[in-house]
Amino acid sequence: MPFWVGDNSPRQTLPLAGFAITCLQGQFSLLLAAADLRLILLASSRAIPELELQLRTWPGYAVRSSSCCVLGFKANQHMEWQQWPSVAFGDRHLLPVCSGIYVIADNNQFIWYVGQAINLQSRWLGRGHHRYPQLIRTNRKLKHRIYWQAFPDHQLNEQERFYIDLLKPELNGAKVKTYLPKQPQVDREIKRLFKTLNRTTLLFPLLRSAIAGAYLDEDGVQCVVTIIYINDFRLLDKSVRKRYSAQVRQAWWGLNTDCGKPQDQYHMHQIVSYHLPDQRFEFVEGSEVLRHLEQHPSTYER
């Protein structure tokens, strides 16, 4: 509820928590109440300069028009940004195409970053923002949101400094971290597959796969042959059909080979293979071989 104080207002101080600031000329008294959300003063133009001088050091005051003074002191000013429109960090492409101030906060209302943008949407489009690597690493756990408020271009510097000073975000002024690039996904995928194939299960308690050997093909590429159970071809099939990685899908080939046998006596056999720039991994079904190795561990150790 705003208090309207002017030249014709009662002189007594309202019985609310706060204190009075009296204009030097004695034109009027002003009550700042701890519970007040917005205090609006209407005064004669000759009283405004003296009042402004007294209140210049108070955060959040602003002057509107030449004949009246509007002071916005908010007891909960630190929480004002929570009323702004917001989008989830993963939906930042839904930000509006306008200039404004944005606040990055997590699900605990902890403020990580405050910034400005001529175009909010393009500023956060893709992964180009310099704070994106730091924020995306904690987004799954903390569920960041981007709060925004539109401001004219000419106010951006002033408003950004105001909200940085007010909210004191964690990352503003902090060193921008750099991270080592991730290993290419095709390399990570083959390591993941071998890690799974080396993990024993109730169905295969002793041995699940075995490296049969390696050889160089006619192009000088090293080829590693791995024996697996027929059930584990389901694992390879999932990798072949990996939905979100075209690189992994393209790394899988089917190689037709006669295994050195006469083609008029044997049918060509297709081997599932995974290709890297300087290596090829071939997977063949050999359930009987693996069962033999389980029953004769000394043979496998040799």
11-59 tens-digit pLDDT? 333 333 333 343 333 333 343 333 333 333 333 334 444 444 444 444 4
DSSP state of 1: -
Map residue 156 onto helix, strand or coil: helix
Q: Binning pLDDT at 50, 70 and 90, where does residue 279 land?
A: very high
Alpha helices in 168-254 (DSSP H): 185-197, 233-240, 246-251
Q: What's CA 234's distance to the chain center, in Å?
A: 33
3-state secondary structure 7-40: CCCCCCCCCCCEEEEECCCCCCEEEEECCCCCEE
Mean pLDDT across the chain:
75
Q: What is the DSSP string of 56-106?
A: TTSTTB---SSS-EEE---TTGGGGGGGS-EEEGGGGGGS-SS-EEEEEE-
Q: How far apart are CA 73 and CA 188, in angstroms?
A: 55
187-228 tens-digit pLDDT? 889 999 999 998 888 877 788 899 989 999 888 889 999 999
Please name each of the domains of the chain with its CATH number.
Answer: 4-75 (no CATH), 78-167 (3.40.1440.10), 185-301 (no CATH)
* pTM exceeds cut of 0.75: no
In this model, does residue 257 exceed pLDDT 80?
Answer: no
Map residue 237 onto helix, strand or coil: helix
**Number of neighbouring beta carbons within 10 Å of residue 191:** 10
Question: Do 228 and 285 meet the contact criterion of CB atoms below 8 Å apart?
Answer: yes
Determine the average pLDDT of the residues in 136-148: 93
Task: Choose the weakest-confidence range: 75-79, 210-214, 215-219, 259-263.
Answer: 75-79
Question: Do 89 and 135 meet the contact criterion of CB atoms below 8 Å apart?
Answer: yes
Map residue 118 onto helix, strand or coil: coil
